[in-house]
Structures are given as C-alpha cells and as structure tokens.
Amino acid sequence: MKPLARHIRRSAALAALALAGCSVAPVQTAYTPPAVTAPSAKSVALAEYYADLQYNMRLRGLIREDDGAGVTTINGRILAENFEAIALFDEYQPGQAGFVARQTPSNIRRWEKPIRMSVEYGASVPQEVRATDGAFVADYARHLSNLSGHPIQMTSQRPNYLVMVIGEDDRAAFANRFRSFVPGVSDRTISDFMNLPRSILCLVYAFPSQNGGHSYDRAVAVIRAEHPTLMRRSCIHEELAQGMGLANDSPRARPSIFNDDEEFGFLTRQDEMLLKLLYDPRLHVGMSARDARPIVQQIAYELAG
C-alpha cells in the first residue's frame, strides 16, 4: 500500500463482525429530521482538511468519475478472481483495540430479504445537502436494485439499511440512534464509531441475520458530512455497494472502487458485473470459495463475454 493510501483509505467494510453473537431483532424506528445548526470550529476545520485532500487527490488523477471503460480488458478469469478476492474475503477482523486490517477467508454474504433504505442527517447538515444527497442516494439505490435484481425501497418506515450523513458534531446523537437501530450492538463498535480517525473517510457496518448466518439483516453506512460533494458521493457509491455484500478491497481489482488506491470514485463497469455475479441465483448465501468457485467462473465468463 502506498503511504498516501494510509491517509485516505475510504472504506472500512465491517461485514458481519460487529455483533459478535448478538441477535438482531426488527425494530420500529421513527425519524424526524433535526433542525439545522451551525457546525463547530472542529467540524469546519475537518471540512477544510477534506477539501484540500480532495483537491490534491484530483491533481493526482484520483476519484475518477468515469466507469473505467477501455482502461483494461476484463475477461472471465479476471472477473472471477476479483470476485473471489472482494466477495469471499473479509478486510477487517476484530482485535483487542478494535478492528484490524487482516485478510480472512469468508463465505458468500448478501441480502435475502428486501432492503428498506433510509437516509438520516445530522443537525449540522444543511438543508440543500439533505435534499441533493437524498435524491442522489435514491437514484443510486434504484441502480443497485436494477443491477442486482434485489428489491431496494427508499422508506423511513421500518428501514433495515440506514445511511447516516453526519458531521463530527452529530456523532454522539447518532451513537444512540445506532444502538436503537441495531439492538445488541457491541460497546466496542460504538466506541469505534465515536472515535473514527480522519483517515477513515466513510464506512459501512453490515450485520447478520438473527440465526448468525451469512444473510444480512441490516446495515449502517456512515458518510461524513464534512466531505465536499464529490468525495461524499464517491463514499455513497462505495459504501452502499459494499453493504450489499462486496465487503473487501483488492489492489488487483482495476477498474474498481473496491481498491484502496482511490483511482475510481464511482461504480465501474467491472463493479456492476461483480454485483450481478453476487446476486446471481446460482450462488447461495454461505457458500465457501471452494464450493462457489466453479459457479463463479461460469457466471463470470457469461458476464464478461
């Protein structure tokens, strides 16, 4: 990993790790948008830092907005290998001091139940950002649903996929929201949520079903409100897709947002194929890499042509 990437890592996809044996029961949740308040000096300083970071990243040709068409040829073998690296490995494992980066084999994880997605905003988020981000998430959710074939509905009624657009000033209030949204969430997870280093630009937590399997029951994506628009929307693209089950990053995946080099900021053509592959009915939740591999290869060759 290049030194720069240690400071701009976008995603910490903590898939099915943050409950550690707790069950997740459906909860009735109600959301009332808070009145807008002025950001603190700490939040303003963080916004300035991220604005500078985005500017320098763009100078380096990062956070590209295209879909990667023509960058490299994606054949069936490459697509299958990248799928295994991204969908069948975990990027993080729990440790004594919180989650640590450690590549660990996993199983096929995805949603089996319909996704009910809601966007909630911290008090520091201006009304114009709430309006534009809400429309952006809704449009992207439709795209994810069309690609995967999995139903995704935007609703504030009993959501199971929560997108938090929050600033530093909002974190304490949303820690309580996190606890109510995910009964049994660990104190370690809440502590990590409360103390995110600025090097973590955004993240998603995906939680397993009550029976402890590999089917997701609910997810929480955390998007920093201090980001400039391009970086914030890039975070939305990656985190919402990772919360669908593409939980890992791979340095070999290109063009892809599932790569810590930050070259691409938005879902690429290869990423779209990875999502279609994950939700292909020939694959099943809980399959190991060994069991899934021949099926993955068949589907990958069909998708790549």
Model pLDDT for residues 239-275, shown as the tens digit of each residue: 999 999 999 999 999 999 999 899 999 999 999 999 9
Three-state helix/strand/coil letters over the chain: CCHHHHHHCCEEEEECCCCCCCCCCCCCCCCCCCCCCCCCHHHHHHHHHHHHHHHHHHHCCCCECCCCCCCCCCCHHHHHHHHHHHHCEEEEEEECCEEEEEEEECECCEECCCEEEEEEECCCCCHHHHHHHHHHHHHHHHHHHHHHCCCEEECCCCCCEEEEEECHHHHHHHHHHHHHHCCCCCHHHHHHHHCCCCCCCEEEEEEECCCCCCEEEEEEEEEECCCCHHHHHHHHHHHHHHCCCCCCCCCCCCCCCCCCCCCECCCCHHHHHHHHHHCCCCCCCCCEHHHHHHHHHHHHHHHHC
Give the per-residue pLDDT at 100.
54
Q: Looking at the domain assignment, is residue 125 inside a domain?
A: yes
Q: Looking at the domain assignment, is residue 9 inside a domain?
A: yes
Give the per-residue pLDDT at 187.
93
Q: Looking at the domain assignment, is residue 244 inside a domain?
A: yes
Give the per-residue pLDDT at 231.
98
List of the chain residues with pLDDT < 50: 1-12, 15-28
Domain count, the chain: 1
Give the per-residue pLDDT at 31.
74
Q: Looking at the domain assignment, is residue 28 inside a domain?
A: no
Give the per-residue pLDDT at 25.
47
Q: Looking at the domain assignment, is residue 105 inside a domain?
A: yes
Domain containing 248: what range?
3-21+54-304
Q: Looking at the domain assignment, is residue 37 inside a domain?
A: no
Q: Looking at the domain assignment, is residue 61 inside a domain?
A: yes
Q: Looking at the domain assignment, is residue 35 inside a domain?
A: no
